[in-house]
Amino acid sequence: MWNKEAQSEVPGVSASKESKIPGVPANAPAGLRPGNPIARTLACLGPTIVVKGEITSDEDLQIDGKVEGPVSLRGHRLTVGRTAQLTTEITAREVIVYGNVSGNLRARDRVEIKKDGRVIGDISTARISIEDGAYFKGHIEIEHSQSSVQESKETDLIPVGAAAY
């Protein structure tokens, strides 16, 4: 009933041939396996971290510390934690704010400002959600998605009754 397999030299790495990725256990959670389209990696900057400069990333990011400088996460999510203080220009797929942001936000998909969140700056996004209790001071520009803009251009080009001629 119990089969004892040969111990691998590296703890947590299976010696079986099931795992074809070196250094990754065969029984690793889906988020640790490279090439998994469903799982997204998340990087975190803790509450005691202070960054003065530019942040760019190709993964989702949660910031709980203090950041002064531009943050660019094209195609990914930025979560501004409750203890975070950002003085920045943000560019991301989506931005969720629980803490404080001073600067402009540009999100391709959506921006959410939670009940304890505070944003001072302009927002440009396709969708926005501001909960009761949140603070926002600035301008909002709602961007239409490319498909809806293209459809509206096509309907503008066909005058009413043009098919009768």
pLDDT in tens, 129-147: 999 999 999 999 999 865 5
Instruction: Give the pTM.
Output: 0.66
Question: Using an 8 Å Cβ cutoff, are 81 and 100 in contact?
Answer: no
pLDDT reported for residue 146: 59
152: in domain: no
118 within a domain of the structure (yes/no): yes
Quick check: is 116 in a domain? yes
Nearest to 103 by CA among 127, 78, 126, 132: 78
Query: Would you say residue 164 has pLDDT above 50?
Result: yes
CB 113 within 8 A of CB 130: yes
Q: Is residue 64 part of a domain?
A: yes
Secondary structure of residue 101 in the 3-state scheme:
strand
Kindly state whether residue 155 falls inside one of the protein's structural domains.
no
Asked if residue 21 is part of any domain, the answer here is no
Domain assignment of residue 11, yes or no: no
pLDDT at 149: 47
- The Cα–Cα gap between 10 and 23 comes to 8
Pairing status of strand 123-130 against strand 105-113: parallel
> Does 74 fall in a domain?
yes
| Number of domains the chain contains | 1
Asked if 104 contacts 87 with a C-beta cutoff of 8 angstroms, the reply is: no
- Is 13's pLDDT higher than 90? no
Query: For the chain, percent helix, then strand, then coil, each to nearest 5?
Result: 10, 40, 50
Residue 45 is part of which domain span?
39-142
